[in-house]
Amino acid sequence: MASVTLSNAKKSYGSLDVIHGVRLAIEDGEFIALVGPSGCGKSTLLRMIAGLEEITEGDVLIGGKVVNELTPRERNIAMVFQSYALYPHMTVAENMGFNLRLSGVPRQAIAERVAEAARMLDLMPLLNRKPAQLSGGQRQRVAMGRAVVRNPAVFLFDEPLSNLDAKLRVQMRSEIKSLHQKVGTTSIYVTHDQIEAMTLADRIVVLNQGRVEQEGTPMELYKTPANLFVAAFIGSPA
Ligand code: ADP
Ligand code: MG
């Protein structure tokens, strides 16, 4: 069963139609890159999938259930943004475990899950530091760790690396790739970086003005872009 399904999902803000009837079936464990120009509706589509928007028409299903009818815990979705608000007075370990503590997970289980995520993300030596003692890349890793410990069914990333410098972006890109290889969580990753999309994704979805222009594997889009718009974003420079 598809883990995320959009069937003719539409979103309007008043008279402004932002998402026009998107159809998409994302399989369990797939890594999808969602690309498109600024303002085309990428963040809106992610918020719809996260259950944070009223859906104007059509359906958004998570694990076969209407997302807006599920509680946040049932949805079990974790979002990672470009701006990661860590709590400054808490250590890395406390930041990572905070949501679990709110959900009443026992202390010992929290410690185990934090340690497991910290090993995956190379955060073990940093667990007792405060956010102010971390670099930008380390903070972004903590933000990912905070999402990983929740063991979500779906990861949503909204341009998580766009605030980092070029060198760190390359490093974080490979960390996200290896994280996905380890945990295999269904992921939807918004980016306007073509290389990020090509290297991370099983499948790329190109959005333009709230419509899907094309979807396919990175190679399919690169070799046979459906139109000039897709070619400009992904296609070979032929
Ligand atoms: P992207 O993430 O691709 O840059 P967004 O999803 O943020 O695009 O925005 C798509 C369009 O929807 C834009 O025209 C934006 O101004 C509009 N929009 C987004 N959120 C709202 C909102 N809460 N109210 C009104 N318009 C919105
Ligand atoms: Mg956006």
CA angle 5/224/211 to nearest 5° reads 40
- A 10 A CB-CB count for 30 gives 19
Nearest CA to ligand 1 atom 27: 13
pLDDT at 51: 95
Tokens encoding 142:
């903590």
Q: What is the CA(44)–ligand 2 centre distance, in A?
A: 7
Would you give the DSSP letter of residue 208?
E
| Element holding 187 (H helix, E strand) | strand 186-190
Q: Is the ipTM of this complex over 0.90?
A: yes
Nearest CA to ligand 1 atom 14: 39
pLDDT at 232: 87
The list of the chain residues with pLDDT below 70 reads: 1-2, 235-238
Nearest CA to ligand 1 atom 24: 13
Alpha helix positions (H), the chain: 42-49, 72-75, 92-102, 107-120, 136-148, 166-183, 194-200, 218-223, 228-233
Looking at the CA of 158, which ligand is closest?
2
pLDDT at 163: 79
| CA pair distance 105, 111, nearest whole angstrom | 10
pLDDT at 42: 96
- Per-residue pLDDT tens digits for 30-62: 999 999 999 999 999 999 999 999 999 999 999
| CA pair distance 113, 110, nearest whole angstrom | 5
Secondary structure of the chain: what % helix, strand, coil (to 5)? 40, 25, 35
pLDDT at 87: 94
Query: Best mutation site among 13, 45, 162 for ligand 1, i.e. most ligand atoms within 8 A of its Cβ?
Result: 13
Burial class (CB in 10 A: 0-12, 13-18, 19+), 53: buried
- Per-residue pLDDT tens digits for 143-163: 999 999 988 999 999 998 887
pLDDT at 234: 81
Whether pTM > 0.90 for this model: the answer is: yes
| CA pair distance 142, 122, nearest whole angstrom | 10
| CA pair distance 224, 203, nearest whole angstrom | 14
Q: What is the CA(35)–ligand 2 centre distance, in A?
A: 10
